[in-house]
Homo-oligomer: A and B are copies of this chain.
Amino acid sequence: MTKISKRQLERYPIYLRYLFILRDSGVKNISAPAIARALQLSEEQVRKDLQVVTSKEGKPKSGRDVLELIQDIGNFLGYKDSTKAVVIGCGHLGQAFLNYKGFEKYGLDIIAGFDIDKNLIGTQVNHKHIYDMKEIESVLPLLNAKIAILTVPASVVNQVAKKLVKGGIKGVWNYVPVRLDVPDSVVVENVNLASSLAILSHKLNKGE
C-alpha cells in the first residue's frame, strides 16, 4: 500500500465537496484537468490523487465518472458507514459541533455530548442528549461511539482522555492545544486554531 501524506489526505474532502456540487447539478463525468482548474490545483496533483483512491482506471478523453469518484474517495477515507461521535465538553465550541450538520456527508454522526455543568446535563442540544462527564466510561460503550470530539479546558484534558480510552474511543479529534497522552492504538488528530491564526497574522504583517 502506498503511503499517503497528510497534505494529500487533506485534499480529498475538497475534491468531494466539488464532486457533490457536480453530482447535484447533473454532471456525469469530470476530468482531472477540469477539477484542477476549478480548485486551483495542478493537473498532475489531481491525477495522482485520484489514481490512488480509484479502483478502475480513468478513460482518456472522457475523464472519470462523478458518482464513482464520490464512492471511491468515500471508501478510501472510511466513510462507508458513518462513524458515531460524541462531543466531550459542551461549551460554545462543543455546542457548535452538536448543532452543525455539515459533517454527515463526511461520514461523521454526532450523537451525544458530555459535560460537567449541572445546568446542561440531562438537556438536549439539537436533539442530542448531554450526559454527565462522570458517566463517560459507562455510557460510551452503550452509545457505541468511536470518535470523541474534545473541546474541554486544557487543564483537564488528559484526565478526560484516560476515561475516553477506557470507554472504548478509537479516535480523538482534539481541539485542545495539549498533546494527548493516550495509547498508540488510539488515533489522535490535533486541530490548533492558533497555528492557523499565526499564518494569517504573519502574512498580514509581512505585507506592511
Question: What residues of chain A have their CB less than 8 Å away from a CB belonging to chain B?
Answer: 4, 6, 9-14, 16-17, 39-40, 76-79, 83, 91-93, 95-96, 99-100, 102-103, 106-108, 146-147, 170-171, 173, 177, 179, 185, 187, 189, 191-207
Contact = CB atoms under 8 A, between A and B. Distances in A.
Q: How many copies does the complex hold?
A: 2
A83 B177 contact: no
A207 B13 CA distance: 20
B13 A197 contact: yes
Contacts of A185: 207
Shortest beta-carbon contacts, A-B, top 3: A78-B205, A92-B96, A189-B200
A24 to B, nearest CB: 13
B189 A6 contact: no
A92 B99 contact: yes
A193 B206 CA distance: 26
Contact of A198 (B12, B195, B203): B12
Contact of A13 (B12, B78, B102, B198): B198
Contacts of A77: 198, 201-202, 205
B202 A103 contact: no
A4 to B, nearest CB: 7
A17 B193 contact: no
A188 to B, nearest CB: 8
A133 B4 CA distance: 42
A189 B199 contact: yes
